[in-house]
Amino acid sequence: MVPLGVFLLGPGGVGKTSLMKALIDLTIGSGLRYAAVNLDPGCSSLPFKTLFDARDIVTVNGLMAEEKVGPNYAMIEAFTRVIAERSKIFNSIVEFKPEIVYFDTPGQMEVFLFNRQTPIFLSEVSGYVKPIGVFIMDNMMVKDAGKLVVTELLSLSFQLHLEIPIVTVINKVDLGIPSDIDRMIKDTEYLINKVLVEKTGLEKDLILGLIPTFRDIRGSTRVVYTSTKIGSGIQDLFNIIHEVFCACGDLT
């Protein structure tokens, strides 16, 4: 069976690596053979063992020192070099024979999302794993209706650009999220009314213009609420991820 390939996606600071560690712990507890792939050449440390580590190819700090360039260029160039060595990732997966592979992506999400090599990498890696994305946002990104809309657009951009199934996660719920967040996600009319109350001027007009269009494109979606601090929602996320294996699996 082709293993499942889980890509942890999202902006820096939302808890991608911590959530990946929690999923790995659950995978171990379930008796499944896993592999972890680090695609972030800029990270300083990882709380899990890796089958492949981008930093064995190049590091952002090393590239900055070697070529006398700034951090943004170094991050883009380092990631491009890592993806150029993708055959090493594929060969490692074939040799190790995991049942599930977790991919930790760069904290600067645009480095992964918009790099010209990413679509090529995903197309080729699909021959070795069955890819699914986990788009992670945190509590601060959904603290009001307007921010929720912007975050949903980010999630949709990942799905459209990467062309893989996406599960959406709201992480750090222990720090507090709006009590009506689930209704805002599921009920478009309710979300529109919230925007009318909370926003004004051009911001309100832009958000109201966006909602019907992207909700029609996105359709219904399933959102998982997680907290690695208190361990909530991890099992739900683990179960939903594995539904992609089932012919009847439905991410909505």
CATH of the domain at 113: 3.40.50.300
CA distance 244 to 153: 23
In this prediction, residue 243 has a pLDDT band, given cuts at 50, 70 and 90, of confident
State the average pLDDT for the chain: 91
User: Quick one: pLDDT at residue 249?
Assistant: 45
> Token pair of 228, please?
């690695």
- The answer to whether position 132 is within a domain reads yes
Which amino acid type is present at position 140?
A: M
- The answer to whether position 203 is within a domain reads no
145-162 and 118-125 helices, crossing angle to 10°: 60
- The answer to whether position 145 is within a domain reads no
- Check: CB of residue 223 under 8 Å from CB of residue 185: yes
Look-up of token digits 């055959």: 87
Percent of the chain predicted with pLDDT > 90: 76
Residue 6, H or E segment: strand 4-9
- The answer to whether position 194 is within a domain reads no
**How does pLDDT run across 185-212, given as a tens digit for each residue?**
989 999 999 999 999 999 999 999 888 8
Residues 6 or more apart whose CB falls under 8 angstroms from that of 66 comprise none
Inter-CA distances, 245 with 180, 222, 242, Å: 32, 17, 6
- The answer to whether position 240 is within a domain reads yes
- Check: CB of residue 42 under 8 Å from CB of residue 60: yes
Expressed as residue numbers, the domain containing 81 is: 4-139+155-173+221-245
- The answer to whether position 115 is within a domain reads yes
**How does pLDDT run across 90-125, given as a tens digit for each residue?**
999 999 999 999 999 998 889 999 898 999 999 999
- The answer to whether position 195 is within a domain reads no
Q: How many domains does one find in the chain?
A: 1
Percent of the chain predicted with pLDDT > 70: 94
**How does pLDDT run across 146-174, given as a tens digit for each residue?**
999 988 888 888 888 888 888 999 999 99
The CB-based long-range contact list for 227-231 (8 Å cut-off, 24+ gap) reads 227/171, 227/172, 227/173, 227/174, 228/15, 228/18, 228/19, 228/21, 228/22, 228/171, 229/172, 229/174, 230/174, 231/22
User: Quick one: pLDDT at residue 158?
Assistant: 87
- The answer to whether position 129 is within a domain reads yes
Mean pLDDT, residues 4-13 taken together: 94
> Token pair of 203, please?
């911001």
16-29 and 234-242 helices, crossing angle to 10°: 70
CA distance 158 to 205: 24
Does the pLDDT of residue 250 top 60, yes or no?
A: no
Residues 6 or more apart whose CB falls under 8 angstroms from that of 156 comprise 214, 217, 218
User: Quick one: pLDDT at residue 222?
Assistant: 77
Q: 158 phi and psi, to 5 degrees?
A: -65, -45
Mean pLDDT, residues 49-78 taken together: 96
